[in-house]
Amino acid sequence: MTVARAEDPSNPSRWEQLLDIRERFGPLYGSENLCVLLYSLVRRERPQRLVELGTGLGVCSLWIAHGLEENGAGHLQSFDNGNHFMNSPVVFTTMAKGILSLQDHAFTKPSVYFDLLDGMARDLGVKDRVNFNNATIEFGGNISSLFEEHEIESIDWLFADVAHGPKAIVSILRACLPRMTDNASIFIDSALSHPPSRQLLEDLVCQFNAGHVPDVFAGEDGQEQHVWAQAIANRRFSLMPLREAKDRAQNGAVWIKIVREVLPEGVTLEASGDTFPR
């Protein structure tokens, strides 16, 4: 990886802009290192259909979009309702001061927030790789209809960074798991530092790997059962805690990797038991 140096200091390279965004905006939500990890994984795994719930200041979205642009394929749909931007002065001032003069925008409304995000993506030359959508995520259950509205039928990567309690996690997984592809990743930020959420995810992964659809996912009349059976059949779920050795309130994400179970090429179940030296 080479960092291109802009010859004209008034025209910084995309790398310089991304590093600047990371340094200035990253610490607010603790995503200054996670964004780089996600970028690297995007380059490595080359996901095509990505979803982010909770855009924040767009730090991870922009780094992911940069990875997709370098890959030459893939698209991120990011969702936020601008709630923090409009209601939290620290979020507003961090973002606004970073990008524009406050006196020009000494008011807050969702359109300002989304204009800022779109502007950053345009400046970086990654606008074709990311959409910033204004939507309120309801953990009682509008996530599926949100995906239908945005024609999100399958997902290679989900990055959920909007709420971290068990109810939110179940609601997000209900909508996403049946859409996850055979080689997929789910990242849930801050779930690690919230013990009930971490415990829930560990239990769910065990149950999925045992082929059980936990009751919380089954529809009341059982009609969803076959959708769920398909979502977990022949798949292996691995949970990787992404602990951050930094003393802050929310310092850990969870990465759930989903892969279709296949035996290595040429290995059959009958033969594989005989391969150990005797």
Cβ-closest position to ligand SAM: 56
Specify the residue, 59 or 184, whose C-beta has the smaller distance to ligand SAM.
Answer: 59
**Residue 165 is encoded by which pair of tokens?**
């309690």
Q: Which is nearer to ligand SAM, 69 or 80 (CB)?
A: 80
Least spacing, CB of residue 235 vs ligand SAM, in Å: 26
Give least dist CB 208 to ligand SAM, A. 25
Kindly state the smallest distance separating residue 215's Cβ from ligand SAM, in Å: 25
Residue nearer to ligand SAM on the CB measure, 136 or 145:
136
What does the alpha-carbon distance between residue 14 and residue 250 come to, in Å, rounded to a whole number? Answer: 29
Residues that bind ligand SAM (CB under 6 A): 29, 31, 54-57, 59-60, 80-84, 136-137, 161-162
CB of 161 to ligand SAM, least distance (A): 4
d(Cα 61, Cα 74) in Å, to the nearest integer? 13
Given a contact cutoff of 8 angstroms between Cβ atoms, the answer to whether 161 and 199 are in contact is no
Comparing CB distances to ligand SAM, the nearer of 36 and 100 is 36
Q: Which is nearer to ligand SAM, 90 or 269 (CB)?
A: 90
Q: How far is the CB of 40 from ligand SAM (least distance, A)?
A: 15
